Structure 1
Amino acid sequence: MRHLRGNLATIGLTVLVLALLGVVAGYVWSALAPAAQYVLIDGTPHLADPETQSLIEADGWFAVVTGAFGLVCGIAGYVLSRGRPVEVLVGLAAGGLLAGYVAMLIGGTAKGGVQAAGPGGYTTTTSLDLTAHGVLFAWPLVATAVFWVIEFAVTYNERSR
């Protein structure tokens, strides 16, 4: 029972740390990603420029930011795993998913507000949003992949000696 509690504590701590890092990642994403301009016409938001690439750029910046956080977490997770690699790996996967979701929520609410009035309505900048939800997997995918690449390299070097 004590062994199980230790395993769950390791997983829980890893998930908690990554969730907190998700808050930071959300603010970084909102600072880097461009927000789309919308015009409110009869209370309905319409893209001010229908050919804008800012929606795609926001998804790309989210993938870059959460992928970078995943890279750092994968390296740190491996270094700090100390005999509990499976538990840390499970924590990286679950925590990375949660952190990506938290980053989406925080970054999505960090921008927004009416900027100027226009002839067709108010021009506004909306909060960031993801249009390609697959980028939510960037953090856990990169974190776990980096963990396994390091593990493979270390064990390969040990076996070749």
Structure 2
Amino acid sequence: MTARPARGVRRTVGLTLGVALLLTVLGAPLGLLWAAVAPDTPVLKTAEGAIYATPQPEQPIAADGWFSLLGLGFGVLTAIALWFLLRRRRGPVGLLAGTLGGLGAAVVAWQFGRRIGLSTYQRLLETAPDGQAFTKPADLRAGGLDWLVVPHGNLLLPAFGAAVTYTLLAGWSRWPSLRPEPEPYAAWPPPLAGAGGWGVGPAEGLSSAPVDRPARSAAPEPPGPDAAEPPRG
């Protein structure tokens, strides 16, 4: 009796962590997509290091914006996929797996995307002469990790999108348990065609349709004048 609940809890925890790990791995292609669409920032090499080529460049803001949009879309699609793929596990398992997976995917996407072209940038920063112009790969300014473990800023958007979307799907579900249930009237026989509509037709003798009332029996005619009177007591 006690082994079965413990086995069920371990299976649930394992499924939740497994799905969260799979979503975390999917952060790598998300980072590739972010690095492909986010613009690089033009910089100039000086004696003190690299400076922006323009006083107020727009490329760092665009990089943050692209990461926010892609991360939020990733979270929404993740919640929809978990809702339909884990039909029998709808509820806390899907919500927790989507939230944890969104956090992990955001960190992986950030670290993976920002390192694309970073080695070339660092090499030019060390070897290029002063005054040479080159570009810096995309990075985040509105997000990061506190104490190297806690994400903040737009790194939270994938988990936020997954949690909100999954909660909305649960709120719109027509089943109280969130899992598909048999319809209460699925086992009833279909209505038969006939004058009665629902139920048994007139062939079986039962019908809900109105029927003609039976005619009254004729009243007896009064006796004639020559008729004999009935005997009296």
Pairwise TM-score range, normalised by the shorter structure:
0.7 to 0.9
SS class of match (1:154): coil
Runs of 4+ in structure 1 off by over 6 angstroms are none
The residue aligned with 2:201 is: none
Candidates 139, 144, 148, aligned match of 2:167: 148
The residue aligned with 1:103 is: 109
Give the structure with the larger helix fraction: 1
* C-alpha distance in structure 1 between counterparts of 2:160 and 2:88, whole Å: 22
The residue aligned with 2:33 is: 28
Candidates 55, 59, 70, aligned match of 1:54: 59
Compute the displacement of 1:142 (Å): 0.6
TM-score by length of 2: 0.62
Q: Which segment is superposed worse, 6-15 or 77-86? A: 77-86
The structure with the largest alpha-carbon Rg is 2
Q: Which letter maps to 2:114?
A: G
User: 5+ residue gaps in structure 2?
Assistant: 1-5, 144-152, 178-183, 185-233
The residue aligned with 2:82 is: 77
Aligned length: 158
TM-align CA RMSD: 2.4
TM-score by length of 1: 0.88
Asked whether 1:6 is paired with 2:11, we answer yes
Q: How does 1:86-101 map to 2 (within 5 A)?
A: 86-101=92-107
Q: How does 1:100-139 map to 2 (within 5 A)?
A: 100-112=106-118, 113=120, 120-133=130-143, 134-139=153-158
The structure with higher relative contact order (CA 8 Å, sep 6+) is 1
Contact 1:30 1:111 in 2 (8 A): no
Deviations 1:7-32 (A, max 9, x none): 11111121111111100100000000
Query: Percent identity at matched positions?
Result: 27
Compute the displacement of 1:140 (Å): 0.6
Contact 1:63 1:135 in 2 (8 A): yes
* C-alpha distance in structure 2 between counterparts of 1:32 and 1:80, whole Å: 30
User: 5+ residue gaps in structure 1?
Assistant: none
* C-alpha distance in structure 1 between counterparts of 2:8 and 2:159, whole Å: 25
Contact 1:92 1:144 in 2 (8 A): yes
Q: Which segment is superposed worse, 34-43 or 15-24? A: 34-43
Compute the displacement of 1:43 (Å): 5.3
The alpha-carbon distance between structure 1 residues 136 and 99, as it changes in their structure 2 partners (threshold 3 A), is same
